[in-house]
Amino acid sequence: MNFLFRTSTIAAIPIAAIFLAAPAHAATLRATSALGQAAQPGDVIALAVLPAAGERIIGIGMNAFDTQGVKFFAQSDGSARAFVGFPFDRSGKSATLYARVQIEKNGQSREQTLSARLSATARYYPTQRISMNSGTASTMSKTSALRAEKLLVQSAMKNSPGAPLWSGAWLVPTGGRATSTYGRRRYVNGKWWGQHNGADIKALTGAPVRASNAGRVVLSEYLPTLRGNCIVVDHGNNVFSLYLHLSKRLVSAGDNVSRGQLIGKVGATGFVTGPHLHWEMRVGWEPVDPFKIVRYGLRF
Please provide the average confidence, as pLDDT, over all residues in the chain: 88
Range of lowest pLDDT (33-47, 70-84, 184-198, 234-248): 184-198
Range of lowest pLDDT (34-48, 138-152, 245-259): 138-152
- Mean pLDDT over 57-69 rounds to 95
pLDDT in the model for residue 17? 32
- Structural domain boundaries in the chain: 9-118, 127-296
- Mean pLDDT over 57-72 rounds to 95
**20 pLDDT higher than 90:** no
**230 pLDDT higher than 90:** yes
- Mean pLDDT over 55-84 rounds to 95
pLDDT in the model for residue 172? 98
Report whether CATH 1.10.150 matches the domain 9-118. no
Range of lowest pLDDT (24-33, 58-67, 207-216, 272-281): 24-33
pLDDT in the model for residue 129? 85
pLDDT in the model for residue 94? 86
| Percent of the chain whose pLDDT exceeds 90 | 71
pLDDT in the model for residue 4? 32
Range of lowest pLDDT (12-21, 113-122, 148-157, 189-198): 12-21
**253 pLDDT higher than 90:** yes
**89 pLDDT higher than 80:** yes
**167 pLDDT higher than 80:** yes
Could you report the per-residue pLDDT of 180-206, keeping only the tens digit for each? 889 888 788 888 777 889 999 999 999
pLDDT: which is higher, 105 or 25: 105
- Mean pLDDT over 155-176 rounds to 95
pLDDT in the model for residue 1? 30
Distance of alpha carbon 172 from alpha carbon 185, whole angstroms: 22
Provide CATH code, domain 127-296: 2.70.70.10
Range of lowest pLDDT (80-89, 139-148, 175-184): 139-148
pLDDT: which is higher, 220 or 136: 220
**14 pLDDT higher than 70:** no
pLDDT bin (cut points 50, 70, 90) of residue 258 is: very high
